[in-house]
Amino acid sequence: MTGAEAAQVVLRLDRITKTFGKLVANDAVSLSLHRGEVIALLGENGAGKTTLMNILFGQYTADSGAVEVFGKALPPGNPRAALDAGVGMVHQHFTLADNMTVLENVALGTVPLWQPRLDPAAVRARITKLADDFRLSVDPEARVGTLTVGERQRVEILKALYREAKILILDEPTAVLTPQETDDLFATLRKAVALGLSIVFISHKLHEVMDISDRVVILRHGRLVAEMATRDTDRHALAAAMVGAEVNAPKVSPATPGAALLQLRDVSTPDQGNAPGLKRATLHLRAGQITGLAGVSGNGQAALADLIGGLTAPDAGQLDLDGVGLAQWSPRIAVQSGIARIPEDRHKTGTIADFTLTENAILESYHKPPMSRRGWMNWARAETATQEIIECYDVRCPGPETRIRLLSGGNMQKLILGRVLEAAPRIILANQPVRGLDIGAVNYVHSQLLAARARGAAVLLISEDLDEIMALSDVIHVISEGRLSPEFARGSMTPAELGVWMAGHGFERDEVAHAS
Amino acid sequence: MRLEPIANPSLARTILPPMIAIATTVVVASLLAMLAGANPFAVLGLIIKGAFGSKFAVLETLNRATPLIFTGLSVAVAFRARLWNIGAEAQLYAGALITVVLGTGALPWGAGALLPTLVLAAMLAGAVVLLVPALLKVRFGVDEVVTTLLFNFIFLLFVSMLLEGPLKDPMGMGWPKSERLITEARLPRMMEGLRLHWGFGLAIISAALVWVIQRRTTLGYEMRAVGLNRDAARFAGIAVNGVLIRTALLSGGLAALAGFSEVAGVKGSLTLDLSPGFGYTGIIVAMLALLNPLAVVAAALFVAGIFVGADSMSRAVGVPTYLADIMLATALLLMVLAILLTRFRVVRE
């Protein structure tokens, strides 16, 4: 027996099963966590990782199975009991009050209602001590709204530690971090483990899992399919276990770029609430080339996608199509100019859930022949066209009259691909095209983008997954706070170097130059 | 407890909840009838008989259903595009107003020219009345629920002012009432000897046309897309604001036809009691019809039947006609719940 296995078991999940309607999210999953151990919970989107942790934390009630913390059964469906037992959870989406200070956020919920006001000095002293112990540098007096994403995450972790959590659950903590911030987070986690805490680390990024965990537990379609010590495995074995087959990164041959089809020259767009607009962005999308846009989410990707998709017009600067400036700009003009748009959110903007496949397939073409003539719809023609998309793009569905809400994300995405690629577009805007898809659908979408490139289309690939960007793109830009980095050729930058740009460094000199 | 969507509802799932809703409505009405000291079976029987039991009763029900079909269509069209038009009452009075302005001798034409003119003028007036809140909504984001609702009261006071002033009938013995329409402006009966005017025919034609617009035209497709998912519609290139404006014009025009039809088909002049809330009842009709324009006709007949039947029942056994209002309110609430249950199942957490 090794040391880790001999250590005290702090958390035990026993045959947890949870279903949502027909979907089995967790299927008799059992798991135990020891003192001072980091378990990585690995699996694709939809494998049941988050559901399992929400059951542990009492936000869901399992259909069957039991949770034990420090040897005591945890009453189901009671987050307060989980907190009291020493379980702390850092959610993917932070649960902080933006208008309050770090100190107030941390103390929130720990002070009884009848106590008129909290003792800030005592709280501050504890926060400072915790911050020192765990290397979580953050100003207790800062308003959360002014903090960066990485800092907010530290506040979330502080919140859990302040409540004396002995078990930390981190749900995809690195999804919103730059590579450097991720390193800081890992330093904190190592410190926590050294101090006797136990950690469940949810991720689907293999190199992080290899880096931080002692043991890996892999979920697939709600089942626990593999469990292994991290030192006995490697990334390929993990990937294989995760998807159930060996994964092959797409083979990408060198591109033969042509003329710039779409150009942004010093384009700025207005900020949208918290999301920054573009700041003097310059970009050339060339025929036969995939341009990758890397960046931490919420740094202006939406502004760029909205601009190219026709939803917003430039505030300043110029948008050129085929070298000609545009007088008018709208989604319909964008489509008519040969821009295929794969939207970021296929449920909210890509499709209309209660429309049939046919009605969804003609969303961009209903207004002109052959789909309609002088205001009259030609439904027979629309259904034929949809049937063709269903066959060509392998959309698994009962038929064109099915409401699209009944389709899986992958099939929904295939219908969108069919809708926008049928018109043989010259420019393709692919915004997070594989988010939430299973590996088969991911490969399909990527092969379609590569085929379009081979045909001579200019492709803009926006993704938060740096691996995806680096695998597919011929050139890469980094976006940070609405600013675009210069163009980097394939292979000219390491992930760490891109990370520096993602964190917002490297732009400063440009700013000085533009300051006049 | 939470609601979980059902992917493919079974036939029983689709039919049973609405049936139970109707049954429960009947039970509630029976209990109230007993409370009022009457035999519930007799009361229900009298309501049905009063609504559909004789030729006279049926015609009365059809007449009463006519304005409800128009206002129901108006609401159904607007709600389909998620334009919350609560102002069918004001649009109805706008249609009635223009009818008496043009139909009391200002246009000395024959019926063949005058009636179509009045129809178009009424629709235009109603459209303009709803255009204002619609523009406020798309330009400044003003909530149309508030503006259309409040405009009902403003417009009724405006009509009242006109009836006390320029539109007052000099021969009306001081009553706030307009002059009577000239004969050419009156809607003829649909069949000789039957007390049913052509307003009903116009309502049926309107329902069919609205159905055709929604199902067969690009405008209908746009209206449904905007109603179901505004973000996706905008992303796809549909001019959402333009669609909302056109929806408002159609919706306002339909509600105004109720006013035209009541004045030209029934009353012959405009008074402040022209509509006992047809505009508001139109919301109930549209909801019961699930916003389907053809089902609006059936729902309007159902609602009108309950009103007419309750009147007749009240005269016979002395149970107050308010029973009709309670029945409709119960039916509406339960039907909304029933519709929810056809699409979602309740899961206990």
The full DSSP string for B163-207 is HHTTTB-TTSTT-SBBPPPPGGGSPPBSSTT-S-BHHHHHHHHHH
Does some domain include residue B10? no
Does some domain include residue B124? yes
> How is the beta sheet containing A87-90 ordered, strand by strand?
A87-90, A167-171, A198-203, A38-42, A215-220, A223-229
Q: Is the pLDDT of residue B349 over 90?
A: no
Asked if residues A433 and A413 have their Cβ atoms less than 8 Å apart, the reply is yes
Asked if residues B190 and B200 have their Cβ atoms less than 8 Å apart, the reply is yes
Asked if residues A198 and A168 have their Cβ atoms less than 8 Å apart, the reply is yes
Asked if residues A293 and A301 have their Cβ atoms less than 8 Å apart, the reply is yes
Hey, are the CB atoms on B224 and A355 less than 8 Å from each other? yes
- Domain extent at residue B154: 67-290
DSSP A277: -
A368 vs B: CB within 8 A: no
In Å, how far is B8's CA from the nearest CA of chain A?
9
Asked if residues A474 and A257 have their Cβ atoms less than 8 Å apart, the reply is yes
Q: How many alpha carbons lie under 13 Å from residue A241 in its C-beta half-sphere?
A: 21
pLDDT in tens, B10-56: 778 778 888 888 889 889 988 988 888 888 888 889 989 999 999 99
Instruction: Tell me which H or E stretch contains A90.
Output: strand A87-90
**CB neighbours of residue A155 within 10 Å:** 24
Q: For chain B, what is the domain count?
A: 1
What the block records as the tokens of A130 is 């915790």
**CB neighbours of residue B208 within 10 Å:** 13
Amino acid (1-letter code) at residue A500: V
Hey, are the CB atoms on B225 and A406 less than 8 Å from each other? no
Query: Considering Cα of A467, then A469, then A472, then A476, what sign does the dihedral take?
Result: negative
Asked if residues A361 and A389 have their Cβ atoms less than 8 Å apart, the reply is yes
CA geometry: angle A459, A461, A465, nearest 5 deg? 160
A-contacting residues of B 184-223, CB under 8 Å? 216-221
Q: Among residues of chain B, what percentage have pLDDT more than 90?
A: 64
Report the pLDDT value the prediction gives residue A250, as an integer from 0 to 100: 63
The whole-chain average pLDDT of chain B stands at 91
- ipTM of predicted complex: 0.86
Q: How far is CA A409 from the centre of its chain?
A: 15
How far lies A329's CA from each of A58, A125, A334, A337, B8, in Å? 49, 56, 7, 10, 41
Asked if residues A133 and A192 have their Cβ atoms less than 8 Å apart, the reply is no
Q: Which residues in chain B are closer than 8 Å to A310, comparing Cβ atoms? A: 237
The Cα–Cα gap between B256 and B128 comes to 10
- Sorted by where each begins, the domain ranges of chain A are 3-243, 260-338+425-514, 352-422
**Closest partner CB to A376 (pick from B7, B216, B235):** B216
The residue behind tokens 């259309």 is B148
Contacts of A349 (CB under 8 A, 6+ apart): A343, B231, B232, B235
Report the pLDDT value the prediction gives residue A248, as an integer from 0 to 100: 54
Hey, are the CB atoms on B4 and A372 less than 8 Å from each other? no
Burial string for B25-51 (b: 16+ CB within 10 Å, else e) reads: bbebbbebbeeeebebeebbebbbebb
Does some domain include residue B191? yes
Q: Is the pLDDT of residue B312 over 60?
A: yes
B-contacting residues of A 3-42, CB under 8 Å? 20-22
Hey, are the CB atoms on A352 and B221 less than 8 Å from each other? no
Asked if residues A66 and A82 have their Cβ atoms less than 8 Å apart, the reply is no
The Cα–Cα gap between A419 and A413 comes to 10
Asked if residues A282 and A291 have their Cβ atoms less than 8 Å apart, the reply is no
pLDDT in tens, B127-183: 999 999 999 999 999 999 999 999 999 999 999 999 998 888 888 787 889 999 999
Q: Is the pLDDT of residue B240 over 70?
A: yes
DSSP A204: S
Polymer length of chain B = 349
**Closest partner CB to A332 (pick from B4, B216, B237):** B237
A311 vs B: CB within 8 A: yes
Render each residue's pLDDT in chain A as its tens digit; 516 residues: 344 445 789 999 999 998 876 667 889 999 999 999 999 998 776 678 888 888 888 888 888 999 999 988 888 888 888 888 999 988 877 888 888 888 888 888 777 666 666 678 888 888 888 888 888 888 888 888 888 778 888 899 999 889 889 999 998 888 778 778 888 899 999 999 998 999 999 887 778 888 899 999 988 878 898 899 999 988 777 777 776 654 555 667 777 888 999 999 999 999 877 678 999 999 999 999 999 999 877 789 999 999 999 999 999 999 999 888 888 999 999 999 999 999 988 888 999 999 999 999 999 999 999 999 999 999 999 999 999 999 998 888 888 998 898 887 788 999 999 999 988 899 999 998 987 776 777 888 999 999 999 999 999 999 877 888 888 999 999 998 899 999 999 889 888 888 888 878 877 655 444 443
Asked if residues B214 and B220 have their Cβ atoms less than 8 Å apart, the reply is yes
Does some domain include residue B181? yes
The Cα–Cα gap between A446 and A440 comes to 10
SS3 assignment, position B15: helix
Contacts of A175 (CB under 8 A, 6+ apart): A92, A297, A464
A363 vs B: CB within 8 A: yes
Single out the residue of A21, A82, A27 nearest to residue A57, CA to CA: A82
Polymer length of chain A = 516
Asked if residues B180 and B105 have their Cβ atoms less than 8 Å apart, the reply is no
Contacts of A266 (CB under 8 A, 6+ apart): A280, A281, A282, A316, A317, A318
Backbone angles phi, psi at A384, to 5 degrees: -60, -45
Q: How many alpha carbons lie under 13 Å from residue B154 in its C-beta half-sphere?
A: 9
Single out the residue of B101, B132, B147 nearest to residue B259, CA to CA: B101
Query: Considering Cα of A451, then A456, then A462, then A463, what sign does the dihedral take?
Result: positive
Cis peptide leading into A370, omega within 30 of 0? Answer: yes
Instruction: Tell me which H or E stretch contains A282.
Output: strand A281-286
Hey, are the CB atoms on A353 and B225 less than 8 Å from each other? no
CA geometry: angle A504, A341, A330, nearest 5 deg? 90
Report the pLDDT value the prediction gives residue B39, as an integer from 0 to 100: 87
Does some domain include residue B346? no
Backbone angles phi, psi at A27, to 5 degrees: -120, 95
Report the pLDDT value the prediction gives residue B188, as an integer from 0 to 100: 92
In Å, how far is A259's CA from the nearest CA of chain B?
27
The Cα–Cα gap between A150 and A135 comes to 13
The Cα–Cα gap between A210 and B238 comes to 48
**Closest partner CB to A352 (pick from B7, B219, B232):** B232
Return the CATH number of the domain spanning residue range A260-338+425-514. 3.40.50.300
The Cα–Cα gap between B89 and B280 comes to 7
Q: Which residues in chain A are closer than 8 Å to B233, comparing Cβ atoms? A: 352, 363
Backbone angles phi, psi at A97, to 5 degrees: -90, 115
Hey, are the CB atoms on B235 and A341 less than 8 Å from each other? yes
Does some domain include residue B50? no
What the block records as the tokens of A263 is 């150009």
How far lies A124's CA from each of A130, A135, A146, A260, B95, in Å? 10, 16, 19, 56, 69
Q: How many alpha carbons lie under 13 Å from residue B134 in its C-beta half-sphere?
A: 26
Instruction: Name the H helices within A225-370.
Output: 235-243, 301-309, 331-336, 357-361
Amino acid (1-letter code) at residue A498: L
A377 vs B: CB within 8 A: yes
Does some domain include residue B60? no
Contacts of A87 (CB under 8 A, 6+ apart): A11, A56, A57, A69, A165, A166, A167, A169
Single out the residue of A482, A479, A485, A476 nearest to residue A509, CA to CA: A485
Q: How far is CA B141 from the centre of its chain?
A: 26
DSSP B274: S
Report the pLDDT value the prediction gives residue B250, as an integer from 0 to 100: 98
Q: Which CATH class is domain A3-243?
A: alpha beta
